[in-house]
Amino acid sequence: NGEWGEPVARGRLSLKEGLQRIDFPAHAGRLLRFRVLGVQNPDGDGDGAAGSDPMVSAAQATAARAIDALRPRDVGPIALSTFHILEQQLPERPARQQYLSQLPLPAALAGQARADQSFRGEAGMRMNGLQFRRGLGVGAHSRIDIALKGRWHLLRADLGIDDACRAAGGMQFQVWGDGRLLYDSGLVKAPGVVKPELDIRGLSSLSLRTLGAQGSQPAQVCGNWANAVLIGEEGDSADFVAP
């Protein structure tokens, strides 16, 4: 269940004995869903499959019932019984890390984020009295988009409300990847600090957002993506995207 995204490959299996091989480009991921969408041959091209899909016709019958694709008496021809996954190992490269605050910050983002300092005032980032030398200071409503190239593995950060505005209230931190929500902190208030570590393999873009400010002065709430860092391999690159 959940949002699976677009298929990485589509294909068709012919009606014949033995295993058939399906090749598709390597794609980083943690889950694989293999779906058989039908066992019919609507074109009637002579490969022996039925002209109608028994899974569909059974569901439309007066007494609808589930179809077990592993039992030939239910589905002819049998749709799927055995499959193997061949894993492709990518060559390893030296590890590297990239602090986001070390990337050139576009002038168009000056009203939403500051590198290595609090969003309120000129002081460095502090949370619960602890100073953070690296990170992005942001306001109550911000969006920072990042283009990724290469084989980045992880995004890490310490998220919380800066001491300069801790009396103003709290807010949410979100991380989006390729248009999908990867992480939502929920409402964060001082002295709370959350430390997400997100798997970003296979992604080409990230979006760091703050929203949902609450408190006595919601417009004055500010926070930090402290120690925000990308973990990857030598040759990987990242850049902020100007809004």
Are residues 217 and 119 part of one domain? yes
| Domain housing 56 | 1-89
The reply to whether 81 and 194 lie within a common domain is: no
pLDDT at residue 1 in the model: 42
141, with CB counted inside 10 A (0-12, 13-18, 19+), is middle
Q: 154 and 44: one domain?
A: no
Domain boundary (89, 122, 153) is at 89
Specify the amino acid at residue 225: W
pTM of the model: 0.69
Q: Does the structure show a pLDDT above 90 at 73? A: no
Domain count, the chain: 2
pLDDT in tens, 136-185: 999 999 999 999 999 999 999 999 999 999 999 999 999 999 999 999 99
Question: What is the band of 70 on the pLDDT scale with cuts at 50, 70, 90?
Answer: low
Lowest mean pLDDT among 18-22, 93-97, 125-129, 223-227: 18-22
**Do 199 and 115 reside in the same domain of the chain?**
yes
